[in-house]
Amino acid sequence: MARLFGTDGVRGVANEELTAELALDLAVAAAHILGEAGAFGERRPFALVGRDPRASGEFLEAAVVAGLASAGVDVIRLGVVPTPAVAFLVNSMSADLGVMISASHNPMPDNGIKFFQRGGVKLDDYLEDAIEARVGEGWKRPIGGAVGRITSDKGAVEAYVAHLVSSLGEPMSLQGLKVVIDCANGAASATAPKAFAAQGATVIAIHADPDGLNINDNAGSTHMGTLVQRVLDEGADLGIALDGDADRCLAVDAQGNIVDGDQILAILAIALKEDHRLISDTVVVTVMSNLGMINAMREHGIKVDQTKVGDRYVLESMNANGFALGGEQSGHVIISEFANTGDGTLTGLHLAARIVATGVPLQGLASVMTVLPQVVINVRGVDKLRAGIDTGVQAAVSAASQRLGDTGRVLLRPSGTEPVVRVMVEAPTDELAAEIAQSLADKVLERLAL
């Protein structure tokens, strides 16, 4: 049986792979496991449940809430909120459990379920394994007054927005800045423009009208063409691209150039180091981060700690070592002083604040690193679980790595969120990167085709 949990919760096509029955069973198992782990104490436990605007989130939310309440957990429904809002509110409201129903940047037919434990942190692998092992098991059901109660508290989200605004310290610190925000017709369609406007920015919000069907539809951080054009048309200082659940942020400078997560991390790392707030002068990234970012950090006296792909692994390293900043090329950026998960709006606010503080436009700030040409090919229709053990594939990877030497690198890995094998190649030129990546993708398809 395939593992339910990937690198970021449980995902699948809603009502096909991710059904109401599975959502209910997951919620019950999570209540039992976290209860046994002692998270609830003596009082009745309570959980927060949020979702992004997908139509399927409505029935999945109902199933999750029913599962938690049937297991004796009181539930506060937050409605449509960003993933980082759930994480923040679980911590600030001392909730015992948080659930976010979202498939992040995935297309609308998909959905997912992410769990947060007390403190607003994602579950460790062993807790996910324990929950998965108990999905669908028999259990003694509470009755009468022991069942959970269900309420709603959309006002709690205002506390999250206030937290975002206050993280910049100075009020109206973005005054004079014109920002285009692409909300991906997602969970931050209301909160992100509100936070930027509260700090004095002139805000132009696009793709901020979710209807349950248009989330991530040619919008947001995975489809940035519209944002690029709007920034140019408006003469804006920058553009901010969020994804469906607003836990990631990419940017566009005033000239229409895309600024990715590596560049954002580099800008923020240097800013934190200048303020003597970059703990151990270290930034945490994943193995997918561009070699140019790592080289730039070395030139600025900043160490780089690399982890497996997934913001949860970045966070594990940050928590274990007390580091202040970490993230992924995809735009998941964790600023530990203010959040314990990736927060696209928070990241965008601090990036904008750096522009104002330095007087340097985003293009100038991003030039701190030279992006090495990078090609990523997603190979579909293959057995991704064999990617790391097939001798033919591994031999091809080794040969490509030897060919590049110190001038680039090769990474081949199964996706934790999609049924694909990702082939990533960095090289001195686009042509060489594309050539090697395509050769490796062809080999993966030849050896691992289903």
Cα 180 to chain centroid distance, Å, stands at 21
Cβ-count burial of 406 within 10 angstroms (0-12 exposed, 13-18 middle, 19+ buried)?
exposed
Residue type, 137: E
CA separation (Å) from 170 to 127, 174, 196, 267, 396?
A: 40, 9, 13, 20, 53
Which of the following is catalytic: 56, 92, 102, 104?
Answer: 104
* Residue 267 to residues 263, 273, 295, 367, Cα–Cα distance (Å): 6, 10, 14, 9
Nearest to 377 by CA among 291, 330, 440: 440
Residues 6+ apart with CB under 8 A from 160: 81, 82, 84, 85, 88, 89, 191
User: Counting Cβ atoms within 10 Å, is residue 190 exposed (0-12), middle (13-18) or buried (19+)?
Assistant: middle
How is residue 289 annotated by DSSP?
A: S
Please spell the DSSP secondary structure of 83-98, one letter per residue.
HHHHHHHHHHTT-SEE
Give the tokens for residue 264: 């954002």
Residue positions counted in the chain: 450
Query: In this structure, how many other beta carbons lie within 10 angstroms of the beta carbon of residue 2?
Result: 7
DSSP letter for 140, please: P
Q: What angle do CA 98, 41, 9 make, to 5 degrees?
A: 25
If DSSP states are collapsed to H, E and C, what string results for 184-248? CCCCCCCHHHHHHHHCCCEEEEECCCCCCCCCCCCCHHHCCHHHHHHHHHHCCCEEEEECCCCCC
Q: Which amino acid is at 344?
A: G
User: Which amino acid appears at position 203 of this protein?
Assistant: V
Q: Are 346 and 335 in contact (CB under 8 A)?
A: yes
Q: Is 104 marked active-site? A: yes
The residues that are catalytic are 104
